[in-house]
Amino acid sequence: MKQDNRINTGNPLRVIFFAGKGGVGKSSIAGATGILSAESGNRTLIMSMDIAHSLSDIFDVKKDGIVDFNRGAPFQVADNLWIQELDISEEIEKNWGEIYRYISTLFNATGLDEVLAEELAILPGMEEVSLLLYLNRYSKDKRFDVIVLDCAPTGESIRFISIPTTLEWYIKKVFRIEKTIARYARPIAKRVYDIELPGDKYFDTIEFLFQRLRGVDELLTDTDITSVRLVTNPEKIVLKETQRAFMYFNLFRMNVDAIIVNRIIPPSIKDRYFNDWRITQKEQLKSAEECFSPVPLFQVDLMKNEVLGYKNLRQLGKKIYRDKNPLDVFFKGTPYELRKENGIYCMSINLPFVKKGELNLNRVHDELIVRVGGTKRHFLLPRHLAGIDSITARFEGEKLCIYFGGGQNDKE
Ligand SMILES: Nc1ncnc2c1ncn2[C@@H]1O[C@H](COP(=O)(O)OP(=O)(O)OP(=O)(O)O)[C@@H](O)[C@H]1O
Ligand SMILES: [Mg+2]
């Protein structure tokens, strides 16, 4: 096996996220994709964003080998293929030192037991930011051609994509004010309270972190580099969560280039026991088309057994992509966009070749159903739009613009 992979091949970086509800098959599919990528000659890293890491199990590598000996660093599992599972305590040492120390002292000073204070000071988001730091670093040092990200179950990965925007806002709007206040208020606060205000080192650490994150938002939203693949199962509840993830990735302008519908009962299974399952799956597959069109769906059969080890993962990869190159960008574009104009939200949907008369809009709870001739598309609405009753719509070129709010604005 090659040990040094720091040669710059000049290939552009490709980043693929696999996100979805818990247990749908994200890690297996990320592993399978990584294998095909490495076999086609790309130096490939599969990174796990989930605290409940399972890459080492899937690749059948002894756990100690990764966490203890490699301390969360990339670990080679085959030619051109590495896996990396972050070790949060290592990351805290490397990235969060002063911030972590300040927060745990703060918790401890408020009466919490020291061990508990240290545990609680691992704030939500620290792991995600650590991962973004790696991603940014790897994109600059060109150590890998392809980075495959095995995301945590949906809720957490959505928090992850909001981090670059939130940090930017925090640094611009809050950070500078806080820093100044802390400098002046520190001597007074010391006399009045038992709790220390953060020192300069704390702010320096935040600033340094921010500098190292610069550019990562551009990397995430560059459609030539980064794609998100949503993994789902043909089941109602799972699909609903996939729709939600689809909406959020869209809103954060990350390009979803494929939906992978995993665990479909193969047609060769004739057992009557599965009859109802087959009907449900067929209905849900149709519903998936209505929800995610024009993003392509990839259908994957339920395999005979758990997908463990290189050989089985490779086989899964072939079942997913067949003759396609897994590194291609399968779809580019935003199926819909959301903006706010004079207090009114406007959702615009690309609907080329549609005439007004063919269109029918309907809202059922938090879903907007757009019927065009014989086809139907479902759009899950962000929470703050779902409660607005007044909806009007009009065509602007090939776009259907749907306005939420401002009832007096008659745009129909
Ligand atoms: N197509 C398939 N056929 C049979 N088993 C599958 C298939 N896809 C995944 N599995 C199995 O389902 C289980 C869950 O898969 P996996 O760990 O990849 O899901 P996950 O989405 O990463 O889960 P988590 O959210 O817990 O991280 C594993 O045992 C895996 O081997
Ligand atoms: Mg997983």
CB-ligand 1 contact for 30 (6 Å cutoff): no
22 lines ligand 1 (CB under 6 A): yes
Q: What is the pLDDT of residues 187-198, one digit of tens each?
A: 665 555 566 666
Q: What is the pLDDT of residue 410?
A: 39
CB atoms within 5 A of ion ligand 2 belong to: 26-27, 54
Measured CA to CA, the distance from residue 21 to residue 34 in angstroms comes to 20
In DSSP terms, 227 is beta-bridged to 16
CATH 2.40.40.20 fits 336-404, yes or no: no
Q: What is the predicted pLDDT for the residue at 27?
A: 94
Ligand 1 pocket, 85 CB below 6 A? no
25 lines ligand 1 (CB under 6 A): yes
The beta strand positions in 233-287, using DSSP E, are 256-264
Measured in Å, residue 357 CA sits from the centre of ligand 1 at 45
**Domains 8-334 and 336-404 agree in fold:** no
Q: Tokens 């606060």 correspond to what residue?
A: 189
Which ligand 1 atom sits nearest the alpha carbon of residue 50? 27
23 CA distance to ligand 1 middle (Å)? 5
Sign of the C-alpha dihedral, residues 373, 377, 378, 382? negative
Indicate if ligand 1 lies below 6 Å from the C-beta of 263.
Answer: yes
Nearest Cα residue to atom 5 of ligand 1: 306
Answer whether 315 contacts ligand 1 (Cβ < 6 A).
no
Q: How many CB atoms lie within 10 A of CB 254?
A: 21
Q: How far apart are CA 64 and CA 75, in angstroms?
A: 11
pLDDT of residue 111: 67
Chain centroid, CA 261 distance in Å: 17
Distance 287 CA to ligand 2 centre (A): 25
Q: What is the pLDDT of residue 41?
A: 95
Low-confidence ranges of the chain (pLDDT < 50): 1-8, 65, 67, 69, 409-412
Measured in Å, residue 356 CA sits from the centre of ligand 2 at 44
Query: According to CATH, what is the number of the domain 8-334?
Result: 3.40.50.300
State residue 1's pLDDT score.
41
pTM for the model stands at: 0.82
User: Which residues are 56's β-sheet partners?
Assistant: none
Instruction: Please give the pLDDT value at position 191.
Output: 56
Q: What is the pLDDT of residue 18?
A: 95
pLDDT tens for 357-396 read 778 888 887 888 888 776 778 888 887 787 787 888 888 8
Length of the chain: 412
The ligand with the least distance to the CA atom of 241 is 1
Domain ranges of the chain: 8-334, 336-404
Ligand 1 close to Cβ of residue 302 (< 6 A): yes
